[in-house]
Each structure stands twice: as C-alpha cells, then as structure tokens.
Structure 1
Amino acid sequence: MTVTRHNQSAHMSATLHLLRRARELKNKQENIVLDGNNLDISTIVSVARHGVEPTISDDEAIAKRLDLSVQTLADNIAQECVIYGVNTGFGGSADTRTKELVKLQTHLLQFIQSGIVTSADKNPASNSERQPSHVMPPAWARAAIVARTNQNLRGHSAIRKSVLSSLIDLLKNDITPLIPLRGTISASGDLMPMAYIAGAIMGNPDVFVQMGKGADAKIMPSSEALKITGLAPSGLGPKEALGLINGTAPSVAVASLALYDTQQLALLSQMLTAFSSECLAGNVEWTQPFIHDVRPHPGQIEAANNIRRFLKGSKYVVGLESQRKFGEGLCQDRYSTRTAPQWVGPYLEDLLLAQQQLETELNSTSDNPLVDTNPESPTCGQVLNGGNFQATAVTSAMDKARLAIQMIGRMLWSQVTEIINPATNNGLEANLNASAVEGFTMKGIDINMSAYMSELAALAHPVSAHVMSAEMHNQGINSLALISARRTMEAADILAHMSACHIYVCCQAAEIRANHKRFLSTLRTKVEDASEFGALHGLGLSAEQIEALSKSLFPIIEKNWYKANTNTWKDRVVSVAEAVMSPVSDFMAANKPECPASTIIAFKKNFHSIVSATADAMYYPNPTISSEDVASQLGDGTSQLYNYVRTKLNVPAHYGIMDDPLYNHQNGLPTEGKKTIGGWVGIVYENLLEGDMMDKVLENWVHEKAE
C-alpha cells in the first residue's frame, strides 16, 4: 500500500521558536519595541519573568494614530454625542448621564478597585505563618502591563501616548502593582486587575506596589513609589481610565505565561515517552511511520515522529528499524507508550490553535467603545459600541490547554507507575531499588504521582461551564478568562511536578536497566568460557559441549534474572542458580550419563559463586555502571535529558536507605551529598520551568542531530 508521508513538526517548531526567542530577548540580543502589532508570547515571558524592559516605538505613524484617536473622541464629545463610559454611567447604569467627564473616570476606578489585598500581602516579612497570597505574582502584573500597552497602542481607545508611557515607566523603575488575585469575570474586560495598574500610575495612596526584587523588595503606596522615582502621577482624560481597564490584557498575559510552560511540557512528554520505552526495554515498532501515515492526523504523525527521533540510536529498545518476530514476554508495549502518539497528538493540534488565539489577542484591540478614526477628518470618525472585551478566545485557549495538560499527565502517570511496579517494568527491581538491601526507594513517588494526577483531573473541567450573570444582569455572559488562565497555570505547575518525578524515575530506571545488561553480558562470557575459569567448568564437558550447553542455558539465565525482580539483586543470584540446575541435569543425563551427583552438587556451588561474584562486582555497594556508559546507549534525544540531570544538575542515582540523610546521621555516617527523594526531585522541578533545562536539552539535541 502506498501512502503519503507527512513530515510535520509544527508543534515542536513552535515550541523551539518560543524557547529560542525568549532566550534571545533575555540575553538582550534584540530590543523589545512595542507597536501594537508585534507582541508574542516569548516577549511576554522575557518581560514578565526576566525583567527585560520594553520601549514604545517612536514611529511617527503610531504617535499620529494615537493623537487622531484622542482627537476623534474630542470631536464626538463636542458634538454632544452620547458616548458610553465618557458621558454615561457604566454597565447596567449606562442610562445615566454626566458632564463631569474627567471625574467620571475616577468614579470608574473607585468602584472597580474592590479586590482584597491583605496586610500580610503588603508586608510579606510579617507572614511567618505562610498564609496564601491574595495578590497576583509580580510576573503576572508585569505581563499584563506590557500586554495592555501594546493593545492600546493600536490607536482605537482614545488614550494618549504619554499615558501609555506611564505604564512602561512602571516596568523601567521596577514598580509592580499589587493586584488582587480574585474578583474579575473577564467581561467587561479584566476591569479589576487593570484598575489597580491604572491606580498605580495615578498615584492612588491605597494602591500598593512592590519596588525591587528579592531581599531588596519593598512594598509601599503607589504615591510614595512615584515620588521616590520622580515619576509624575498620570491624570486621565475622558475615556482613558476605561480604555486602560476595559480589555483582555491580564487574561491574555497570564494565559501566555501558562501556554509557554505548557508547550514545553507537551514536547517534554514526548521525550519522556521515549525515555519510558527505553526504561521498559520496549518494542517500539509503534513509532513506524506507516502506522501513522494511514491515519494522517497531523498531531499524531508529529508525536510519533518526534518520539522516534528522540529514540534514534537507542540500544534499549527494539523495533526502531525492524520488526521483532521472536522472543518471549509481551509482543507489544502497553498503551501508555504504544498509543502515546494517538493520545497526545490531538492535543498538540489544540495547543497550536491556543497559541494562535493568544498571539492574535495580544495584538488585538479589546476595548469598548472603540474609536474608528478617519485620517482625512477627525470629525467624521465614529465611536462604536461593541464587545471586544469578551475574552472568550482566551478562555477557549486555556480550557483546551488545561485539558491537554490533564491528558498528558494521565499518560505520564501510567508510564511512571509501570516503571516502578515490578509486575509491569520488564525486569527492573520493585520500586527501582538499586541497593543490595531490601528497600522501597521510589514508592513515595508512586504515591505522589497519584496525588498529582487526582488534583490535575479536578482542574481539567472547563471553566467556561461555570459562567454566572453579573452586574445588574448587564454582563449576562462573561468569559471567566483570567480564572481559566489561573487554573491553567496551576495545572501546568502540577504537570511540572509530575514531569520532574518522571525524569528522576527514568534516570534511575535507565541506569538499573543498563547495569543489568552489563552484568548479563559479562556473565554470558563466563558461561561460554570453556577454560577452568568458566561458569560451566567442573562438569567434565568438552569445549563443543560447553558451547552447546551455554547456548541453551543463557536464555534461561536471562529470563530468570529479570523474572526475580521483586526484591534485591542478591535474590536474583539465588533464582538463577536454581533455574539452571534442571536444564544442566538434563543435558548431563543426555551427554554424560556417568556423571556422579557430587559433580552436579559441586557445579551448583561453583556456578552460584561465579554468578554472585560477578554481580557483587557490578552492583551497589560496589561501583555500578557509569553515567557515560548509560548515556551512550540511550537515544539521541533522551541521552541529552539524562546527561543534563546527571552532569549539569548533579542529581545522582539513589540507593534507598543508604542514601537517606537521617539514616546516615543516625549511624554516624557522612551526610554530605545525601538528600531525601523529594530533595533531588525538587532540584529537577525547579530547573524544569524556572531554569533552562528544556532549552538546553532541546538545543543540544537539535545541534547534534544537525551534525
């Protein structure tokens, strides 16, 4: 059958672009210049998380369109037109009228600045009880500022350039408003969060801001911060308060941060699926292109292709280039790996759509009313009422992303539990105990993964299904976009927890797998050795007979070595020694019937001794396989991840109780370099999203692949 090949890598390309551009902006290889049309997710990340300072374009055309917008509004006011939010009340109170146009904007901020900010939020040093914050993380606030500035630069909101410059001045002077975490329904826009940003540039004494970061951070009234930095409070003209707060900026800003993380985790999940397959010594013929070409969903094709590329060169799996037609055990992998392309593929497509929705929104006008200018004559321009503040596009993006996160998490949960469970891990020790002492090394992670998964599943329900009517039933439908973005940030963080656990487990499992392979390879040479040092010496067999016996014997040794995996490696030695006795006795009966029972007994003792000595030299507490040897057998992509953890983060294998800091302390042993399991996983977790793990791992892989 002839099929059309799809060489698609749309999701990977998009994710790599996000990572590379964010890195370039962080390293200031490119300036951020806002013009209303070029803002992307990477820019939001670089400003919000890395403190990169944006500027407003000095293009005269932008200044002119802003001025024309303000002038068009002024002309409509002069014509005594009824203009919502300029000379009318707000929302369900829009049937009122006023001539106090400037004061009306202060009225707007007065009733919108209604969120809760506690005394502990204003003085974090006093919060020794670690009460949860009631304000947004500073990165969210910075992201909202840059997003709203860009949206307003489009010139449809009748806001002066000087006011927008005041927003950027907050970023330049490291002034971050304290924005209440809860209280917006994201229609009419994210009024409440943006009202606190507007309050900050106006110097409201009861709108608090943070100046500085880390130990130097101080929280003070915005009026004091403006005075310290020499910034003049911004007075707002007709519609300028409304133009600042009536929009989707906080929603799309937080959503952008959430999606940036989600895209990385989605790509990482494909690498972790490849890593799982290696840990389980899988048959990965399910990555063969034909399977996916005949069901040509782009996401499925890409996921299978990515996993296959991450596995290229792996010595741990079979089925990459050829089909396995013989052998015992499962003839095909379990669903958590084998159907991974079909499982995550549709959600890669959803995440691409979500990114498109957000980046469109970042460069859209989301105000109301909108000023439709006429460059030829401001008096001919119109002020139009609409609903671009309805942030449902953001809600749609976030609900899709959160469901994708849940599906990815469910797959990773399955993979980790299968790797830890001796009934499903294809011969690895129970709980990945690499020690000679009975222990439960990774059992806690098994429990943690179930806890994380349950919480993640609870977050997956669409926020959009919970819309309530608000504000005198004027806002009868509302997007809840910021709530959905917040939930997605929470879900992405949980998935990062799960991914960190997965990475840690896979690194341990890969080493155990590699060490078993090394041991069995060494033992094979000793079984095949016809000299006096060979494992079959003492039976009185010829070299030809030893060759024949070893050929039939070694599959039994290998099978029983992997089968006896419910305890420690020492128990495997006993199992193997017992398993060979019957086939050896049968062989001797057929080929050397005069062999006395004492010879068989002596053989058993000698064989056990050789297997035990061989294992003892290769398993903990003696030196085990090196990380270099492990990496050399992993795939092109997974080896990069393994190397990063072992060499960059210096996270070692864990030998259970022998590596426990309390056990060592109690027994007078050194505690240096000893951590709890959670301590090591925490290092991986912190570096996963806050560090540069994915950026470096993927860049190294792309670079080596290109070579």
Structure 2
Amino acid sequence: MNISLNGQSLTIDQVHQVAHAKGGAVKLSIDAKAMDKMKASRAFVFDIVKKGAPVYGINTGFGALSSMHIAEKDLATLQVNLIRSHCTGVGKPFSREVTRAIMLLRANCLTSGFSGVEPSTVELLLDFLNNDITPVVPEKGSVGASGDLAPLSHIALALIGEGEVEFQGKIVNSDVAIKSLGKNPAVLGPKDGLALINGTACMAALGALAVFEARQIMKLADICATLTMDGVKGTDKAYNPKITMLKPHPGQIACMENLNKLVLGSKLKDSHPDCHKVQDPYSLRCVPQVHGACRQTLIHAEQVIGLELNAVTDNPLIFVESAEVISGGNFHGEALALVMDYLAMGVAEICNISERRIEKMMNPTFSELPAFLTRNSGLNSGLMIAHVTAAALVSENKYLCHPASVDSVPTSTDKEDHVSMGVTAGRKLHEVIENAKSVLAIELLCNTQALDLQRPERTSDALEAVYSLIRKTVPTIEDDRIFYKDMNNIIKVINSGEVVAAAESKLGALN
C-alpha cells in the first residue's frame, strides 16, 4: 500500500496500518503539491536569514531564551544544540508501533508547508518508516505543550546520525542504519530542529492508536455481554428498541442495535419464557445505557483526534502567501489530553460492568450454575481467582483514570506556564485499554464455560461462532488447570480481531 502525505488527509486507520506495517508493506512519500509548498516555505526561511531581522525559532534562542539573537554563522549549531539538549527522555522506550505512529504524524504535519523545514529531512524520516528503522524513544519527559519536545528530540537525534535505532533486530547507532540506505544523516539548517520537535505528534499518535483499539473493545464488550446474558439465562427484554428510543443517545442506539443482532435466533434466550427472574441486575439490564455512554467517549475522541492528525502544530508558522511568520500555540495538547482522559474513563467503565457480569456467573444464587463454573466445586476452585484478577484490574483502572489533564507544572522560567500533560494521559489510556482486553478475556473465559453448562441449548449463530473460536485454544473446563494460559490465548485472539470478526461473519458489521 502506498500513502502520499499532504498534511490534510491522514486517517486513524492509516496511522494504525503504518504503525503495524512490516517488511515494506506500506510505502510513504510526499505529495507533489505538498513538496512545492514545503520548498516555498523553506525558501522563505532563508530569505529571513538573509535579511537578518530576529524571528523566533529561526535566528533566536528558544523558550525563555527567545530574546537572544543568534548570528547567521551559528544557526546550524543552534539547531543541533537544540536537539542534543532536548534529548532528556527517561523510562522504557515506546513500542515500535507507537514510535512509528509518532514519526508518521510528525512527517504529515511538516508536509503541510507551514514549517519551513528542509524537505530532504522529512524524506529521510519517511525512509526510516519505509525501511523499518525505529528510533529508541523514552516514554517519559513530555509535559504536552511547546510540543512533545523530549520524545521528538530523540527521533530528530536519530535523523542527524547521533541517536539509537532498532534496525534488523538490533539496537545500533542511527548513522549505521542511515548509511545502509546509501544516504547521509540530516544536516540541520535554520528552523529545522525546532520544526522537527515542536508539535503534538507523540500525544496524537497515542490517541490515534488508542481510538483504533477502543473501537474493537466497544464491539467486543457487546459480544461479551450477550454471551453472558445467555450463559446465565438472562433476558433481552431491556434491549427493546422502544426503551432506547425514549433516551436516544447515539451510543446507546448503536449498542442496542448490536445487542439485538447478536442474540437474534438464540434458542437459549427463548428457552425460559416463564423464568422466575423478574429483572436482571443492572450489569445485564443496563448494558445499552452503560456501553452506550462509553461509546460516547469514543465518538468524541474520534472527532478530536481525527482532526489533530492533520493539524499544523509547529511554532512559529510560516505563511508564504502573506509573507508572515507568526508565533502561536498550536503545539499545546489540551484538546488531546482532555479527550484521552475522557476515553480512558469510558474504557474503564466497560471493565467495571464486565467485572460485575463475571461475578454474576461466579455466584450460583443468581446464575443457578455450579459455583465458580466448575461441576466439582470444593475439590476444584474453578474460575474463582480469574474473577479476582478482573477485580484487581478494575481497581487499577480507577487510579489510572485520575485525569492527567487537570495538572500543570510551569516550566522554562514560567514562560511555558500552562501545560497539558497529554503524553501522560495517552500512556495511561493505553494501560487502561490493555487492562480492558484482559478483563474481557476473563469474561469470555467464563461465559463460554457457562454456555457449556447450559448445553444442549444453543445460543445465536453469531455467538456460537465466537464460542467455537474460543474453544479452538481454550477447551471446556472439567477440572482445575493453569488458567492464565487460557486467558493469554483469549487475549491473542482479541488482539488479532478474530473475536469481533467471528461474530461479524454471521451478522455483517457491528456498530
């Protein structure tokens, strides 16, 4: 697949594709019209240098040092010093996928033609992506304003041949990887260093990859809820469209439609018309309302992050047509930080209600199934502690959902006096998403076992397809065994997208 960047049309799906692409599966280039804009912007920068008047980011110091004018002979050194001094990240490196997404978003922003960057430097950044050269970028060090300076500096350091990269399965100096391409490290000129590091690429990359994952989690949660409903012989009466249309939030409507499609044709659902259970607990009865509200956080996140992918977040910005260089604050990540905190809460609530459904399957008083879903309880503990693990993850999510965006630590002698903490919000969001996969994997471990205990009755074709998929690697539980292996196997099929695909193979696309 070929993607030509122009700073205007990148999508969340494309970010995910590039982030996960291997072996040259995706080839990136710069759109011809975008290249013309970049060249014009670059020429304007050199015109400023020639005139000599101080312009921030081109021939001045940075941040609190912006009042200091830098001589023309020192401008290249200024940019290299900027990159070296800003490489202050700490902690473990971002994953290959996150780092690739960051590089893609920075390149896309620069192709807009408002940054004045040397086009060949951006082309080298795309060479890194096209040839699977991944800079080592520590996770911690950005406060989410003035751009993601520290993480982006580690990428820029790799471009000038002084950083570390993962290449061909090894960590090597970046100049080695660049030379293997038959190229030379980037030589920074006026504004190049600042253009490479001043933007929201790190935050936006975390957000875009999280949105892609959260889409799958919302569908998966609906699948889990209906499997559990049938596993405990609950009722779908609360999913009646008449109820939802009296409270027509878009997320609730989407969830309600999914639930009704998923249980359509279930013999198990229709096997207890005179059931003595008058009403199900909220964790089953209120799925449209709770899952629907969680979907609203995703809807908002998609809107904000989708816009940010093609935003120009450099500073200062160069407007060639009006012959202006204007300093502003598009590097500030407030919108991203807020929406990632919001989405984290939405995904965490998916976990909260899932854990309650798991508990209902453990409890014979409600489920009328053997305690902990094992026929020979006492001798066997069954899925008792699998539920405890879900409870632990749900509890962990609660502190991970403390919003990073409400914090701000002034930096740079109070010049940068309000920051977003957007990268922190994004990192926490990814932890909540990983926890969600584990909690939903535990629910699938439990509700497929509950279905076995309800045999010979069968659920719907869509849910039977999911059941059969799980049973390929997780056999019916007869006696206690090592359950973490089962949980990990289910997480693998969740990550592969096979669970959602199994249901959709019978229904068509879910909302």
TM bracket, shorter-chain basis: over 0.9
In the alignment, structure 2 segments of 5+ residues that lack a partner are none
Q: Verify the 8 A CA contact 1:398 1:488 in the aligned structure 2.
A: yes
Q: How far apart in 2 are the matches of 1:98 and 1:64?
A: 29
- Read off the aligned partner of 2:262 and give its amino acid letter: F
For 2:479, the equivalent position in structure 1 comes to 656
1:97 matches 2:39: no
1:645 matches 2:470: yes
Taking a change above 3 Å as real, the CA distance of residues 678 and 465 of structure 1, as seen in their structure-2 partners, is same
- CA positional deviation for 1:698: 4.4
State which drifts further: 41-50 or 280-289: 41-50
Taking a change above 3 Å as real, the CA distance of residues 470 and 637 of structure 1, as seen in their structure-2 partners, is farther
- CA positional deviation for 1:201: 1.1
In the alignment, structure 1 segments of 5+ residues that lack a partner are 1-29, 117-132, 375-379, 518-632, 661-675
Q: Verify the 8 A CA contact 2:56 2:316 in the aligned structure 1.
A: yes
For 1:384, the equivalent position in structure 2 comes to 326
For 1:463, the equivalent position in structure 2 comes to 404
1:430 pairs, out of 371, 379, 383, with: 371
Per-residue deviation, residues 636-675 of structure 1 (Å, max 9, x unmatched): 43222112112xx432111123xx3xxxxxxxxxxxxxxx
Q: Verify the 8 A CA contact 2:38 2:119 in the aligned structure 1.
A: yes
- CA positional deviation for 1:77: 3.0
Per-residue deviation, residues 22-58 of structure 1 (Å, max 9, x unmatched): xxxxxxxx42222212211111111112323332144
For 2:134, the equivalent position in structure 1 comes to 176
Equivalent positions of 1:305-316 (< 5 A) are 305-316=257-268
- CA positional deviation for 1:366: 0.5
Q: How far apart in 2 are the matches of 1:38 and 1:327?
A: 54
For 1:8, the equivalent position in structure 2 comes to none
Q: Verify the 8 A CA contact 2:269 2:459 in the aligned structure 1.
A: no
Equivalent positions of 1:295-444 (< 5 A) are 295-318=247-270, 326-328=274-276, 330-374=277-321, 380-425=322-367, 427-435=368-376, 438-444=379-385
Secondary structure of 1:637's counterpart equals helix
Q: How far apart in 1 are the matches of 2:494 and 2:191?
A: 43
- Read off the aligned partner of 2:117 and give its amino acid letter: I
- CA positional deviation for 1:702: 3.4
For 1:31, the equivalent position in structure 2 comes to 2
Q: Verify the 8 A CA contact 1:358 1:394 in the aligned structure 2.
A: yes
For 2:49, the equivalent position in structure 1 comes to 77
For 2:89, the equivalent position in structure 1 comes to 115
- Read off the aligned partner of 2:87 and give its amino acid letter: Q
Q: How far apart in 2 are the matches of 1:154 and 1:357?
A: 19
The aligned length equals: 506
For 1:483, the equivalent position in structure 2 comes to 424
Q: Verify the 8 A CA contact 1:73 1:383 in the aligned structure 2.
A: no
State which drifts further: 459-468 or 635-644: 635-644
Q: Verify the 8 A CA contact 1:309 1:636 in the aligned structure 2.
A: no
* Larger Rg computed on CA atoms: 1
Secondary structure of 1:472's counterpart equals coil
Q: Verify the 8 A CA contact 2:199 2:313 in the aligned structure 1.
A: yes
1:56 pairs, out of 29, 33, 54, with: 29
Secondary structure of 1:424's counterpart equals helix
Q: How far apart in 2 are the matches of 1:190 and 1:396?
A: 16
TM-score (ref. length: structure 2): 0.95
Per-residue deviation, residues 152-187 of structure 1 (Å, max 9, x unmatched): 110000012211110011122221111111111121
1:688 pairs, out of 494, 508, 511, with: 494
- CA positional deviation for 1:390: 0.4
For 1:153, the equivalent position in structure 2 comes to 111
Q: Verify the 8 A CA contact 1:258 1:488 in the aligned structure 2.
A: yes
Per-residue deviation, residues 50-93 of structure 1 (Å, max 9, x unmatched): 3233321442x222111111122222333333211211111112
Per-residue deviation, residues 467-494 of structure 1 (Å, max 9, x unmatched): 2112211111111111111111111000
- CA positional deviation for 1:284: 1.5
Q: How far apart in 2 are the matches of 1:365 and 1:405?
A: 29
Secondary structure of 1:33's counterpart equals strand
State which drifts further: 446-455 or 77-86: 77-86
Q: Verify the 8 A CA contact 1:285 1:318 in the aligned structure 2.
A: no
Per-residue deviation, residues 562-616 of structure 1 (Å, max 9, x unmatched): xxxxxxxxxxxxxxxxxxxxxxxxxxxxxxxxxxxxxxxxxxxxxxxxxxxxxxx
Aligned-CA RMSD value: 1.9
Q: How far apart in 2 are the matches of 1:495 and 1:251?
A: 21
Q: How far apart in 2 are the matches of 1:698 and 1:42?
A: 21
For 2:191, the equivalent position in structure 1 comes to 239
- CA positional deviation for 1:316: 1.9
Q: Verify the 8 A CA contact 2:316 2:327 in the aligned structure 1.
A: yes
State which drifts further: 338-347 or 189-198: 338-347
Q: How far apart in 1 are the matches of 2:444 and 2:245?
A: 30
For 1:209, the equivalent position in structure 2 comes to 165
Q: Verify the 8 A CA contact 2:407 2:420 in the aligned structure 1.
A: no
- CA positional deviation for 1:189: 0.5
1:40 matches 2:14: no
- Read off the aligned partner of 1:391 and give its amino acid letter: G
Taking a change above 3 Å as real, the CA distance of residues 58 and 468 of structure 1, as seen in their structure-2 partners, is closer
Secondary structure of 1:233's counterpart equals coil
Greater relative contact order (Cα < 8 A, sep 6+)? 2
Q: How far apart in 2 are the matches of 1:463 and 1:87?
A: 35
For 2:448, the equivalent position in structure 1 comes to 507
Q: How far apart in 2 are the matches of 1:243 and 1:491?
A: 32
- Read off the aligned partner of 1:653 and give its amino acid letter: T
Q: Verify the 8 A CA contact 2:261 2:507 in the aligned structure 1.
A: no
- CA positional deviation for 1:436: 8.4
- CA positional deviation for 1:115: 2.2
Q: How far apart in 2 are the matches of 1:697 and 1:455?
A: 30
Q: How far apart in 2 are the matches of 1:81 and 1:266?
A: 54
- CA positional deviation for 1:437: 7.8
Q: Verify the 8 A CA contact 2:232 2:361 in the aligned structure 1.
A: yes
TM-score (ref. length: structure 1): 0.69
Per-residue deviation, residues 391-439 of structure 1 (Å, max 9, x unmatched): 12211221111000111110000000111111221x1110100358842
Q: How far apart in 2 are the matches of 1:336 and 1:360?
A: 34
For 1:595, the equivalent position in structure 2 comes to none
- CA positional deviation for 1:255: 1.6
For 2:483, the equivalent position in structure 1 comes to 677
Q: Verify the 8 A CA contact 1:248 1:389 in the aligned structure 2.
A: yes
Q: How far apart in 2 are the matches of 1:358 and 1:694?
A: 26
For 1:697, the equivalent position in structure 2 comes to 502
1:65 pairs, out of 21, 37, 58, with: 37
Q: Verify the 8 A CA contact 2:220 2:500 in the aligned structure 1.
A: no
Q: Verify the 8 A CA contact 2:5 2:31 in the aligned structure 1.
A: no
Q: How far apart in 2 are the matches of 1:471 and 1:704?
A: 50
Q: Verify the 8 A CA contact 2:250 2:296 in the aligned structure 1.
A: yes
